[in-house]
A and B are shown apart, each in its own frame.
Chain A
Amino acid sequence: MAFRKTTSPTAREDMISGYLFIAPALIVLTLFVFWPIVQIIWLSFHEWSVITPEKPWVGLENYRNLTKTRDFPIALRNTVWLSVGVVPIQTLIGLFLAVIANQKIRGRGFFRMAFYFPSISSTVVISVIFLWMYQQNGLINFILRKVGLPTPMPPWMSNPNGVIAMALKPLGVDHLNPWLAGPSVALLSIMMMIIWTSVGGTMVIFLAGLQGLSQDVYEAAALDGATATQQFWQITVPLLKPIIFFVVTLGLIGTFQVFDQIFVMSQGAPAKTTLTLGYLVYQEGFTNFAMGYASAIAIALFLIILAIYFVQRSVLRTDQ
C-alpha cells in the first residue's frame, strides 16, 4: 500500500500521540479510580454523617473503632469463614470436574457450557432463585424430605446457628467460642450457592491448563507402571500448581468482597451471621450514614485483600 508521503513519526509525535491515545481512558480512570482512592483514604480520617455537611478530622478514631465495635469483628469472622469454606471446595471440585471432562468423554463441549453458565449469570438472579429454593417449603427442603433427610429448623436462611457448634452439640460441647462455631446455616446456604455459581469457572480454567500439558510425561509414567491416581497426584497436580494458585488467589479476592448476595438475600441477618465486610461498608455508609467509618472499613478490606495477594505470591515463589 502506498501512504501519503509524510515524515516518519518522530519521538515527539509519538509522545503526543501516546498521551492523546491514553487521554480519554486516563481521564475516566483518574476521575473514578485514582481520585476516589485518594478520597477514601482522606475520608477514613474524618467523620461525616451525611445529613450535616461538616466533616471533622478524627485521626485514627475510625480505625480504632474497627476493633471496638461489634460489627467489624463479626463481619471479618463471617468473611473468613466464607472464604475458607468456599475457596478450597470450589477449587477442588473444579479441578476434579476438569480432570473428568478432560477424558475422552462424549459431549465435553456441552458440559463445559452447562457448567460455565451460572458463573456468567447475574448474581442477583441467582440470589433470588436460591432464596426461593431455600424457603421452608421450597425446592431444597422438598427434595430433602422426599429422600428422608432432615431439614434445618429454623429453615436455611433464618438459621443463625453455627454449623460446627451444631455438629459438636450432640457430643456435649455447649458454649463454643463464636469464632469456632463455624459459619451459620444461613451463611452456609450462601456459601453453597457461591460454590454452585463458580465451580464452572474454575473448571474451565483447569481444563485449559490440563489441555496444555504435554502427554510425554504421562506416557513415561504409564510405562513405569504408575496408576491413574498416582499420575494425578504426582504429575498433574504439581504441573498445575501455577494455575491452582491463580484460581485460589482469585477465589480469595472474590469471596472477600461478597456483597450482592447479602444485599439481596439477607442483609446480614440472622443475628448478623451473614454480615460480610463488603456489605458492612454499604451498611455503615448508606444505612447508618457513618461515611468516615465506612471508609475505614473499606480500606481495611482492601488491605486484607492486598495481604492475601502478597502471601499467595510468596508461597508461590518459595514453591518454585
Chain B
Amino acid sequence: MDPLVLTESTIPDLKESRPRGRVSQALLIVGFIVLVIVALIMFVPFLFSLATSFKTPPDATKLTFRTMFWPPAPTLDAYRTAFDSNIGRWFLNSALVAVVWIVGRIAMDTLAGYAFARMHFPGRDLIFTLMLATMMIPGIVLIIPRFILLQHLHLLNTYGALTVPFLADVFGIFLMKQFFESIPLDLEEAARIDGASRYQIFRTIVLPNTIPALSALAIFSFQGSWNNFVEPVIFISGGNTNLYTLPVGLANFKSLYLTNWPVLMAIAVITTVPMALFFLVFQRYFISGNLVSGIKG
C-alpha cells in the first residue's frame, strides 16, 4: 500500500478556514441546507428502525405520516421477544469477543509493531512486507481454508473460532509501527546509553508514550469485532444460539422469523446503541484511526 501519510496531527480539529474565493453568504446558507438534508438522510433510517421497534407488527406495516416515526401504541413486546430469543447472550458474546480482540491485539500488535520499528533482526523487512501484502486479501477469500483449519483444531462452533484467528492483525501492527517510528529516537538512545535492556526501554519509556495509539488500536479493534460478520456467520454455523454475536443473531433471526419486523428492528437497535455511544465519546479516535489506515472503515 502506498500509505498516505496522514498522521494524527492532520485530523479531527477542524480549523476555521476562510471561505475560498468569492463564496457569498447565500452560498454558505445553501451549503448549510444541503448538509442538513444529508444529515437527515443519514439519520432517518436509524430513527425509523427505532420507531418500528416500539410498534406491533400490524402497526409497523401500516405507515401514515403521523405514525411513521412515532408508534401509535408504543410497546416493549419486540424487545421482550428479542430477549426471549437470547439477545442478552448475544450481547454478552459480542462484548466478550470484543474484549478478547482488544487485549490480544494490543498485546501482540504492539510488541510486533515495536520490533518492526526499532529492532534489527534478519528478515525484518521481508517479513513486514509480506504481512503488508496480505492486507489486501479480503476475508471472504480465505474463509474456506480458515474454516478447514478451525475444524481440524476443533475450534468450530466455539468461542475460539470467534477470537483466535483475530488475535493479531496486520493493520494493527502497521499502525503501531508507524506510531513507534514517530517517537524520537533520542529518548531511547539516552536510556540505551544508561544501560537499559530492550525490554526495560520498551516498558518504561516507549509504552507510556503510546497510550494515544493504543487507544486508537483499542477503538479500532472494538469496531472490527463488534460488527464482524463474515467469519462468525460461517464459523458458528449451526451451533446453538448461545454462541452467536449480535450481527449473527440478527441475520439468523431474520432468516427464521420473517415477518416480525419490530423484533428485527429491536435487535438492530440493541446492536447499534453501544457502538453509537462509543462513537460519541471516542469520535476523535475513530476518525483518526480511519484516516491513518484507510484500509478498514
Contact = CB atoms under 8 A, between A and B. Distances in A.
Interface of A: 1-9, 11, 13-15, 17-19, 21-22, 24-26, 28-29, 31-37, 39-40, 43, 97, 100-106, 108-126, 128-133, 135, 137-139, 142, 146, 196, 199-201, 204-205, 207-212, 215, 218, 221-222, 226-228, 230-231, 242-243, 246, 250, 253, 256-257, 259-260, 263-264, 278, 281-282, 285-286, 291, 294-295, 298-299, 301-302, 305-306, 309, 313, 316
B254 A253 contact: no
Given A100-B35, A126-B45, 11 more contacts: A3-B196, A3-B200, A6-B195, A14-B198, A17-B198, A32-B142, A32-B165, A40-B144, A210-B17, A211-B15, A228-B22
A247 to B, nearest CB: 8
A111 B62 CA distance: 32
A2 to B, nearest CB: 7
Nearest to B248: A124
A282 B251 CA distance: 15
**8 smallest A-B Cβ distances: which pairs?**
A18-B121, A36-B145, A21-B115, A25-B168, A257-B138, A39-B145, A228-B21, A18-B119
Nearest to B18: A215
Nearest to B226: A122
9 contacts: A25-B168, A100-B31, A103-B28, A120-B275, A208-B11, A215-B18, A231-B20, A259-B140, A281-B140
Interface in B1-48: 2, 4, 6, 10-11, 14-23, 27-28, 31-32, 34-35, 38-39, 41-46, 48
Q: SS class of chain A's interface: helix, strand, loop or mixed?
A: helix
Nearest to B139: A257
B124 interface: yes
A204 B290 contact: yes
Contacts of B16: 104
B83 interface: no
Q: SS class of chain B's interface: helix, strand, loop or mixed?
A: helix
Contacts, number: 332
B107 A103 contact: no
A142 B200 CA distance: 65
Contacts of B14: 108-109, 112, 207, 211
Nearest to A125: B268
B28 A104 contact: yes
B141 interface: yes
A44 to B, nearest CB: 10
A120 B146 CA distance: 25
A22 B111 contact: yes
A123 B49 contact: no
Contacts of B140: 257, 259, 278, 281-282, 298, 301
A125 B52 CA distance: 14
Nearest to B137: A302
Contacts of A124: 227, 229, 247, 250-251, 271
Contacts of A278: 138, 140
Interface string B83-124: 000000000000000000000000111011011100111101
A121 B68 CA distance: 23
A18 B275 contact: no
B28 to A, nearest CB: 6
B217 interface: no
Interface stretch (B74-82, B208-216, B230-238): B230-238
B194 interface: yes
Contact of A133 (B45, B107, B191): B45
A207 B14 CA distance: 9
A105 B32 contact: yes
